[in-house]
């Protein structure tokens, strides 16, 4: 890491600027000293860490996907070996990296728990470390992580980490990284729904909503529902699995929700919430039809919330019911409008470049993968991951090439 030297004679005499500069330098020195003294322990179970874990996760800028309940649901469903990293400094918990070990073709990879179904990953850091940004000694940190994971994994692969998230730079900055091929898309929620719409093409979007409303009324009407009972929530999730399976089959694509473990994981998230409803791991929202198609589910989505950040985890529509009404779009309108006045600042459409996301989301966030070899085998695997990721990014950046790749994928399954 390069350390910038400041020539005070060449700096502005502004006292505030000098104070900020001094604080920045002290923070860099402090973080380097801390990394020299930090102790990293490896845990093969979550329970001993629960109190520290829950204390760290209250920070709104830490991802929902690293929350204790989210990770516990995945661990209970998949039963993979764990190698959770806990950093301790001066007797206090500095960070927790919730990591599981995934084995594939003789390679052992240390990944964030539930990485395959995560939309953003941050890790969990104490206040001082979370605000440290790029001042951590990355070379020292990398060496400590390698040492901690020696014998547990060949490669540390922490995927979908934004370098900066809502104004905060990740403490993982400086570790070996490659830009992930997928970006995420967000809509800031302002004081009122009308103010939020002004970030988009508000006139066009309101017109589209009126057309959808008239068509749905002509079809008998619709109710926007968020079931309050656990039984109804689980029932909607099962409907989602059915609708999504049909959609994947029509496209000739593998169903990423089909396996028993993934379905058990998602069912395990329902009902995990705090008393203030500032956190809920998974909540099902739906459009329920009236009239001729009474009780039919036209569109469905799974929503999560942590603090002021809401993520749409997934969605599906019934393509045989009112297809000309764009029920998925109508459901987003209802969900987003209903979140105003409830302390939500950001609606996240998650990973993946899709037209409907771009139409709703003025903010695009780049994600990166930490690729840190632990063993000689991991060096080769890390290089392969970089090549594959960059190739995917190259293809996705070129619509014609991406369409061709999707067609090939559909044909070969």
Q: Which CATH architecture has domain 8-182+368-412?
A: 3-Layer(aba) Sandwich (3.40)
> Above 80 in pLDDT, residue 320?
yes
In the predicted structure, residue 296 carries a pLDDT above the cut 70: yes
pLDDT in tens, 170-209: 999 999 999 999 999 999 999 999 999 999 988 888 999 9
Whole-angstrom Cα distance, residue 300 to residue 241? 10
pLDDT digits over 350-370, tens only? 999 898 999 999 999 999 999
Choose the most confident range, by mean pLDDT, from 25-29, 280-284, 376-380.
280-284
Alpha-carbon span 157 to 172, nearest angstrom: 12
Task: Looking at 256-344, list the stretches that DSSP marks H as alpha helix, in order from N- to C-terminal side.
Answer: 260-269, 327-339
Share of the chain residues as helix, strand and coil, in percent rounded to the nearest 5: 45, 25, 30
CA angle (113 as vertex; 112, 116 as ends), nearest 5 = 85
Same fold, 8-182+368-412 and 190-344: yes
Contacts with 369 (C-beta within 8 Å, 6 or more apart), sequence order: 157, 158, 159, 160, 161, 177, 178, 179, 180, 385, 389
- Mean pLDDT throughout 32-38? 65
Mean model confidence pLDDT for the chain:
88
Say if residue 19's pLDDT is above 70. no
Collect all residues with Cβ–Cβ distance below 8 Å to 263 and sequence separation of at least 6.
Answer: 241, 257
- Going 229 to 272 to 74 to 285, the CA torsion angle's sign is positive
179 forms beta bridges with 368
pLDDT at res. 13? 43
CATH-assigned architecture of domain 190-344 = 3-Layer(aba) Sandwich (3.40)
Give pLDDT tens digits for 149-163: 999 999 999 999 999
pLDDT band of 32, cuts 50, 70, 90? low
Beta strands 155-161 and 164-165, pairing class: unpaired
Domain regions of the chain by residue span: 8-182+368-412, 190-344
List of residues 6+ apart from 18 with CB closer than 8 A? 8, 11, 12
The model's pTM is 0.87
Q: What tens digit of pLDDT does each residue of 244-261 get?
A: 999 999 999 999 999 999
Q: Please state, in angstroms and rounded to a whole number, the distance separating the CA atoms of residues 335 and 221.
A: 17
pLDDT at 406 (0 to 100): 57
What is the number of other CB atoms lying within 10 angstroms of the CB of residue 379?
13
Q: What is the model's pLDDT at position 202?
A: 84
């Amino acid at each position: 890491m390069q350390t910038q030297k400041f020539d005070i004679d060449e700096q502005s005499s502004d006292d505030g600027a000098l104070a900020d500069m001094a604080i920045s330098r002290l923070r860099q020195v402090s973080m380097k000293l801390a990394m020299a003294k930090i102790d990293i322990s490896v845990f093969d179970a979550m329970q001993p860490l629960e109190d520290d874990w829950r204390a760290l996760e209250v920070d709104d800028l830490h991802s929902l996907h690293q929350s204790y309940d989210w990770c516990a649901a995945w661990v209970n469903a998949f039963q993979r070996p764990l190698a959770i990293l806990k950093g301790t400094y001066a007797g206090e918990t500095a960070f927790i990296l919730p990591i599981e070990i995934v084995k594939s073709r003789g390679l052992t990879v240390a990944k964030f728990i539930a990485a395959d179904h995560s939309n953003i990953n941050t890790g969990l850091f104490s206040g001082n470390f979370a605000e440290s940004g790029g001042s951590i000694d990355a070379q020292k940190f990398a060496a400590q992580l390698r040492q901690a994971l020696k014998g547990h994994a060949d490669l540390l692969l922490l995927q979908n980490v934004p370098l900066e998230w809502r104004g905060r730079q990740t403490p993982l900055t400086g570790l070996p990284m490659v830009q992930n091929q997928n970006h995420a898309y967000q809509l800031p929620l302002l004081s009122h729904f009308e103010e939020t719409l002004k970030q988009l093409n508000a006139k066009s979007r309101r017109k589209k909503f009126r057309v959808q409303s008239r068509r749905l009324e002509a079809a008998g009407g619709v109710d926007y529902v968020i079931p309050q009972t656990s039984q109804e929530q689980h029932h909607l999730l099962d409907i989602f699995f059915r609708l999504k399976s049909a959609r994947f089959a029509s496209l000739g694509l593998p169903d990423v929700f089909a396996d028993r473990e993934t379905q058990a994981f998602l069912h395990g998230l329902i009902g995990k919430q705090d008393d203030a409803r500032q956190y809920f791991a998974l909540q099902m929202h739906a459009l329920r039809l009236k009239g001729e198609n009474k009780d039919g589910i036209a569109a469905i989505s799974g929503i999560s919330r942590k603090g002021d950040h809401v993520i749409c985890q997934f969605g599906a529509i019934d393509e045989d019911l009112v297809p000309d009404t764009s029920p998925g779009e109508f459901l987003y309108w209802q969900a987003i409008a209903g979140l105003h006045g409830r302390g939500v600042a950001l609606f996240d459409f998650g990973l993946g470049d899709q037209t409907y996301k771009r139409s709703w989301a003025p903010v695009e966030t780049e994600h990166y993968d930490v690729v840190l070899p632990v063993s000689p085998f991991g060096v080769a695997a890390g290089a392969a991951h970089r090549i594959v990721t960059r190739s995917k990014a190259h293809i996705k950046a070129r619509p014609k090439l991406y369409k061709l790749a999707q067609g090939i994928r559909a044909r070969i399954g």
